[in-house]
Amino acid sequence: MIQKTIRQILNKIISEDPGLKVVAEAERPSQVEALIVKHKPDVITLDIQMPEMDGVALLKIIHPKYHIPTVMISAISKEEGPQVLQALEAGAIDYIQKPQLNDLDEVSKVIRERINIAAGAKIRRRTASPRRSAIKTKNFEKQSLIVLGASTGGTEAIREILQSLPSAIPPILIVQHIPPVFSTAFANRLNDLCLFKVHEAKDGEEVLENNVYIAPGGTQMGVRAEANKLVIQITDEAPVNRHKPSVDYLFQSVAQAKLSRLTAVILTGMGGDGSKTMKVLRDQGAHTIAQNEETCVIFGMPKEAIKLGGAEFVLGLDEIAQKMLDLSLERPVRKIG
């Protein structure tokens, strides 16, 4: 349900893919349910800004009833960041930038790709409330570091994992494929929900326990060893695997640092970002975890990591938080390198 001009542009973009067909358009939210019942669409595109009610409110009505993969249409603005995150929390699969006539060539391919991905996505029923981990992490090894990467479906997977963790945790560095204007809102949302500090990473800050660092959108995040401490590096280097931030970029950085207490995690997402370097990390002696197919929205990234032999453990989403903590407990040092 999108304003008329945008609907016309989006219709044109979608129709250029022979595998996609627009079966119905709605001018108002009040028309949507009848069209769903009549046409039984495989995917719905839904604007954030609409008459009668906003897209998030409509999604909260239709998603629990019909469970149809939904892609939000957003201006990708700072103002809409919190609403997009609310939509993902309410069950949306993904979001795309609202197309404009002056950038059709650039966005058309991305829009068609995202809609096709959504059509094959797995709808996960959200748990009523996150389960808090029973493990006490006061004895986790002080040199422990957790690095985690995700893409499509990742904002909610990350939320579920972090909300399951206790207040005392090893430092966690996270790369979620996300635009620059959304990463701050994502970090702030997680910080409101978690028992520890979650914030957007800053260049030059020290990596500390009980902190989660979110890679700023549109940048690359890595680490460097400096005077017996680990420091975050935020750079403007080129995309890796078409992504900026990139999971492989972060994983390569920690591989070069040759840390003795490292756990790497790959969650739901399309493509293979992070999979090659996860194998490198495992070969170095790091622990590695891939999310299993049953709980992924999109199994692409974990599937590639598993195929390459990079996953030491393949676990459901509700098992990953506990395993990360288990692997961070004090034990004899494992040599890496």
Is position 236 annotated as part of the catalytic site? no
Q: Which of 133, 144, 177, 275 is catalytic?
A: 177
In sequence order, the 6+-apart residues with CB closer than 8 A to the CB of 177 are: 150, 151, 152, 154, 243, 245, 269, 273
Within 13 Å, how many C-alpha atoms sit on residue 112's CB side?
17
Is position 151 annotated as part of the catalytic site? yes
Is position 199 annotated as part of the catalytic site? no
Q: Which of 47, 54, 248, 273 is catalytic?
A: 273
Vertex 214: Cα angle to 308 and 151 (nearest 5): 40
Q: Which of 151, 246, 253, 328 is catalytic?
A: 151
In sequence order, the 6+-apart residues with CB closer than 8 A to the CB of 199 are: 187, 191, 211, 212, 213, 214
Active site residues: 151, 177, 273
